[in-house]
């Protein structure tokens, strides 16, 4: 039997190159190799309190972009998280067995608290528990994610194992972060520091739906510096980030060419950025076309969401039934 893959994207905005290279890029191959569940994490997005209108629009965006990345709704299961209430039920059970200390120590929680000290809600604290429920509900063993999610996967294993021990079973298998290359990716942003992300500001991320002119403008404005002052100088973070971006979107020859220019102090950042922007445009163009096409088709989106919810619930209901029985719920 094929192993099960689960992958989710928060519906807090459009998909960017970080999402693409971190998680989405190999979906087409994955859906042939594994039993795949792809979902839009709209419950997770509630931690930031979107308005009802924004919530729906964002879910639609991600659904369209997921489909544009090549997911085949017949071959895999694509669904919206809130259409599967069994996930929320499993989250509740797992919460009984997740401890304040370990949740508070999670790096992403600490980052979020630092970024938004006025909105430290319980949903944010228990975010890794909901993520564990997302994965365990289908008893998945493989989760395609970027480097930023490694710690959450470890927590998902902890919560699954704890459940198993508490109920004296081997019910949940251990899920692991998965990438075909065995290395988890971290795509940097354009602002000179940290990763590309939906909450790091519009200019930091290149979106799959950005038109070529927008991509050129964003990349030309990316943070750089006055250039190297010595041969073979180590690269400061903003420059290293641009090279790391080139590594994901450009050919090995192009990268080597600009590395050599940098090392010889002959690099012109204008040319370097132009090349980077053009390679990003080549990567995103086919997806952008499909996004524009699929976004027009309301009937198709409705049918995909309905069909996906049915398939996802079938798997989730089976798990919840077994989990309830392990916990000891019995009907009178
Ligand atoms: P999010 O946008 O935070 O919901 O993340 C959805 C998926 O994209 C997760 O698998 C993340 O690991 C991945 N991801 C998000 N940002 C990046 C990034 N900058 N580099 C690599 N992977 C990322």
pLDDT tens, 9-67?
999 889 999 999 988 989 999 999 999 999 999 999 999 999 999 999 999 999 999 99
Residue 65 CB–ligand 1 contact under 6 Å: no
Q: Which of 112, 139, 218, 273 is catalytic?
A: 112
Give every residue of the chain whose pLDDT is below 70, as ranges: none
Per-residue confidence (pLDDT) for residue 182, from 0 to 100: 82
Whether residue 108 is found in the same domain as residue 171: yes
Query: Which of 18, 39, 189, 207 is the best mutation target for the ligand 1 pocket, counting ligand atoms within 8 Å of the beta carbon and taking the most?
Result: 18
Residue 81 CB–ligand 1 contact under 6 Å: no
195 is catalytic: yes
CA dihedral 128, 131, 135, 138 (to 10 degrees): 130
Q: Is residue 192 part of a domain?
A: no
Q: What is the CATH classification number for the domain harbouring 241? A: 1.10.240.10
Instruction: Give the orientation angle of helix 212-220 with respect to helix 269-295, to 10 degrees.
Output: 150
Sheet holding 4-10, edge to edge: 77-80, 35-41, 4-10, 142-144, 176-178
Q: Which of 91, 165, 89 is nearest to 321 (CA)?
A: 89
Per-residue confidence (pLDDT) for residue 281, from 0 to 100: 98
Whether residue 128 is found in the same domain as residue 211: no
Whether residue 120 is found in the same domain as residue 249: no
Q: What is the CATH classification number for the domain harbouring 159? A: 3.40.50.620
Given the DSSP bridges, would you call strands 35-41 and 4-10 parallel, antiparallel or unpaired?
A: parallel
Q: Is residue 243 part of a domain?
A: yes
Q: Is residue 193 part of a domain?
A: no
Rounded Cα distance, 157 and 237, in Å: 33
Per-residue confidence (pLDDT) for residue 198, from 0 to 100: 78
Q: Is residue 190 part of a domain?
A: no
Per-residue confidence (pLDDT) for residue 306, from 0 to 100: 98
Residue 198 CB–ligand 1 contact under 6 Å: yes
112 is catalytic: yes
Whether residue 217 is found in the same domain as residue 129: no
Beta strands (DSSP E) in the chain are: 4-10, 35-41, 77-80, 142-144, 176-178
| Ligand 1 center from residue 11 Cα (angstroms) | 12
Tokens of 95: 């919460």
Residue 185 CB–ligand 1 contact under 6 Å: yes
Q: Is residue 115 part of a domain?
A: yes
Contact 185, 21 (CB under 8 A): yes
Task: Report the chain's C-alpha Rg in angstroms.
Answer: 21
Q: Which of 25, 139, 142, 195 is catalytic?
A: 195
Whether residue 167 is found in the same domain as residue 316: yes
Q: Is residue 169 part of a domain?
A: yes
Ligand 1, closest atom to CA 7? 10
Whether residue 152 is found in the same domain as residue 267: no
Q: Which of 14, 25, 142, 198 is catalytic?
A: 198
Domain encompassing residue 117: 4-185+298-327
Contact 271, 193 (CB under 8 A): no
Whether residue 173 is found in the same domain as residue 233: no
Per-residue confidence (pLDDT) for residue 228, from 0 to 100: 93
Q: Is residue 332 part of a domain?
A: no
**Domains: count for the chain:** 2
Tokens of 268: 């012109």
Whether residue 35 is found in the same domain as residue 173: yes
Residue 197 CB–ligand 1 contact under 6 Å: yes
Tokens of 123: 């949903």
Per-residue confidence (pLDDT) for residue 11, from 0 to 100: 93
Rounded Cα distance, 191 and 219, in Å: 10
183 is catalytic: no
Per-residue confidence (pLDDT) for residue 299, from 0 to 100: 98
Instruction: Give the orientation angle of helix 85-95 with respect to helix 127-136, to 10 degrees.
Output: 120
Residue entry with tokens 């619930």: 313
Residue 23 CB–ligand 1 contact under 6 Å: yes
Residue 13 CB–ligand 1 contact under 6 Å: no
Q: Is residue 70 part of a domain?
A: yes
Whether residue 131 is found in the same domain as residue 229: no
Whether residue 127 is found in the same domain as residue 263: no
Per-residue confidence (pLDDT) for residue 202, from 0 to 100: 75
CA-proximal residue: ligand 1, atom 8 (nearest) = 19
Q: Cα dihedral sign for 178, 189, 55, 283?
A: negative
Residue 192 CB–ligand 1 contact under 6 Å: no
Whether residue 115 is found in the same domain as residue 29: yes
CA dihedral 88, 89, 94, 99 (to 10 degrees): 60
Whether residue 321 is found in the same domain as residue 264: no
């Amino acid at each position: 039997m094929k192993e099960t893959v689960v992958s989710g994207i928060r519906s807090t905005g459009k998909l960017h190159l970080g999402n693409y290279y971190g998680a989405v890029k190999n979906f087409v191959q994955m859906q042939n190799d594994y039993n795949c569940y792809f979902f839009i994490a709209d419950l997770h997005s509630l931690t930031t309190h979107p308005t009802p209108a924004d919530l729906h629009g964002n879910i639609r965006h991600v659904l369209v972009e997921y489909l544009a990345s090549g997911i085949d709704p017949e071959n895999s299961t694509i669904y919206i998280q809130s259409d599967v209430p069994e996930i929320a039920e499993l989250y509740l059970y797992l919460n009984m067995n997740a401890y304040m200390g370990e949740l508070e120590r999670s790096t992403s929680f600490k980052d979020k608290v630092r970024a938004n000290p006025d909105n430290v809600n319980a949903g944010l604290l228990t975010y890794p528990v909901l993520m564990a429920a997302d994965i365990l509900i289908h008893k998945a063993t493989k989760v395609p994610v970027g480097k930023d999610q490694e710690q959450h996967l470890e927590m998902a294993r902890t919560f699954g194992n704890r459940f198993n021990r508490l109920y004296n079973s081997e019910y949940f298998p251990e899920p692991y972060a998965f990438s075909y290359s065995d290395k988890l990716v971290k795509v940097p942003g354009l602002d000179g520091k940290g990763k590309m992300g939906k909450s790091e500001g519009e200019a930091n991320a290149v979106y799959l739906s950005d038109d070529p002119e927008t991509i050129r403008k964003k990349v030309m404005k990316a943070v750089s510096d006055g250039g190297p002052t010595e041969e073979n100088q180590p690269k400061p973070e903003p420059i290293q980030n641009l090279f790391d971006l080139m590594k994901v979107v450009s050919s090995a020859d192009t990268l080597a060419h600009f590395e050599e220019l940098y090392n010889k102090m002959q690099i012109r950042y204008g040319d370097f950025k132009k090349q980077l922007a053009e390679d990003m445009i080549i990567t995103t163009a086919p997806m952008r076309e499909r996004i524009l096409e699929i976004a027009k088709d309301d009937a198709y989106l409705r049918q995909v969401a309905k069909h996906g919810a049915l398939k996802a619930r079938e798997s989730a209901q089976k798990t919840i039934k077994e989990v309830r029985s392990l916990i000891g719920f019995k009907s009178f």
